[in-house]
Amino acid sequence: MKIYGDLNSGNCLKVKWACDILKRPYTWVDIDTTKGQSRTPEFLAMNPAGQVPVVELDDGRALSQSNAIIRYLAKGTALIPAGDYAAAKMDEWLFWEQYSHEPYVAVCRFMMVYLKKDVSELDSDKVKRGYAALARMEHQLAETRYLTGDSFTLADIALLAYTRVAHEGGFHLEGYSALRRWIRDGETVLGLPPVARA
């Protein structure tokens, strides 16, 4: 299997982390989207949307969209809770991440890290919604060790990717003790070095 992605992208890291924890062998293919490498005819043949990540499966088929990829790779493993309802509760977080978290936390980070914007230049609505997303996670994680309960699942992988670097988008996590504990726990589970936070 090949993973086409950018190691600076949380969406791509989700796929890498899922493969690593599942011990699924893969070849990483670096794609620099800032240089148009996701817009070549070869890449667009795999994913007409021109986005990373994309996986090319062993049989040559391609699959895109990070949460669809990790859902496919983790089928039948402990990263997906047993039982239809528990699995659907995990899916709630996966859908919520792409609609209510990533568009704000990740976009603010993109503005600051890639476009070199100052925190004062960020869209105030995006900042407000980003903090609302972090507050929702804090509320849940004050009640449960991980997002869906006592077990680490794909929901945690998906939301850890951008939450652990939220400070790079101007978000301060000092008042989010449960969230910070969860980040540390997730980094430990995945064998990641702690991210330095300002």
The predicted pLDDT at position 9 comes to: 93
Give the model's pLDDT for residue 197. 62
Q: How far is CA 133 from CA 19, 77, 102, 167, 191, in A?
A: 26, 28, 9, 14, 25
- Least confidently predicted of 26-30, 34-38, 86-90: 34-38
Structural domains in the chain, sorted by start: 2-73 (3.40.30.10), 84-190 (1.20.1050.10)
Alpha helices, H only, 54-194:
66-73, 84-96, 107-113, 124-141, 154-163, 177-190
3-state secondary structure of 165: coil
Residue 182 has pLDDT above 70, yes or no: yes
Q: How far apart are CA 49 and CA 22, in angstroms?
A: 27
Mean pLDDT of 136-148: 98
**Both tokens assigned to 127:** 């900042």
The predicted model gives 175-188 an average pLDDT of 97
